[in-house]
Amino acid sequence: MTTPTVAKKDITKLQRAIVDGLEDVKAQDIQVFDTEHLSALFERVVVASGTSNRQTKGLAASVLDAVRKAGFSKPRVEGEANGEWIIVDCGQAVVHIMQPSFRQYYNLEELWGEKPVRLKLGAAKPAVAEGAKPAKAAPKAETSLKRSNAAKKGVEEAFPSKAQLKKAAAKKATVAKAPARKAAAPKAAGAATPAKKAAPVKKTAAKTVTKVVVPAAAKTVAKAAAKKTAARKA
């Protein structure tokens, strides 16, 4: 294997690692340019945008980690203090992470963009995406099961079975009997009222008897007294 071939594979691997690191933090408008014919210092220039200081710093850190994981030496980072324009020097490739206003003003694409490199974004991560699909399929299956159960319940409510109709009729009959039982309770309480009122009647009867008996006894006593008086006179 010749040395130029090894160098070409290294730069391809490096630019792939850089792009992956940028994509991990959602970089915008990633562009890769071949600068081998323009400078002997580096072979690739990568330009990407971040919407805020926080994102540009996160993009720089992500590129740093991705390049080291790919087996390359630790890059040098400049401009990280303000986050408006951060340069990550990876040796064979230089990464410019800029906020949109700075990128538009300095227009690095005009300076280095004579030979753009066609690179499929996200091409290095299909296996991870496919491996994640089965884990996400479970909630979808659960959702579809809930929907099917809800649809089944709706059909049962619209078209009830014979057993459901019997159950509903029995429930209605139970509800209808409840008022009848409640109505029977006042009647029973009312029936007890005449029994309480019967006591004065008995007392009245006793008074009547007394009125009748007392005069008869008085007559008897009067007759006895008259007989004694007659006997004495005689």
CATH number at residue 73: 3.30.460.10
Q: Over 70: is that where the pLDDT of 209 sits?
A: no
The number of angstroms, rounded, from the C-alpha of 30 to the middle of its chain's C-alpha atoms is 37
Tell me whether residue 20 is in a domain. yes
Tell me whether residue 84 is in a domain. yes
Least trusted range by pLDDT, from 53-67, 97-111, 165-179: 165-179
State the amino acid at position 234 in one-letter form: A
Count of domains in the chain? Answer: 1
Tell me whether residue 171 is in a domain. no
Tell me whether residue 91 is in a domain. yes
Tell me whether residue 37 is in a domain. yes
pLDDT interval class at 148 (50, 70, 90): low
Tell me whether residue 166 is in a domain. no
- Are residues 93 and 45 in contact, defined by beta-carbon separation less than 8 angstroms? yes
Question: Structural domain of residue 38, as residue ranges?
Answer: 3-128
Tell me whether residue 107 is in a domain. yes
Tokens 């070409």 locate to 8
| pLDDT on residue 91 | 92
d(CA 96, CA 29): 12
- Are residues 21 and 65 in contact, defined by beta-carbon separation less than 8 angstroms? yes
Dihedral pair phi/psi, residue 89, rounded to 5°: -90, 105
SS3 50: coil
Q: Over 80: is that where the pLDDT of 29 sits?
A: yes
Mean pLDDT of 166-193: 61
d(CA 86, CA 25): 15
Q: Over 60: is that where the pLDDT of 6 sits?
A: yes
pTM: 0.51
Tell me whether residue 99 is in a domain. yes
β-partners of residue 44 are 34, 93
| pLDDT on residue 55 | 95
| pLDDT on residue 40 | 85
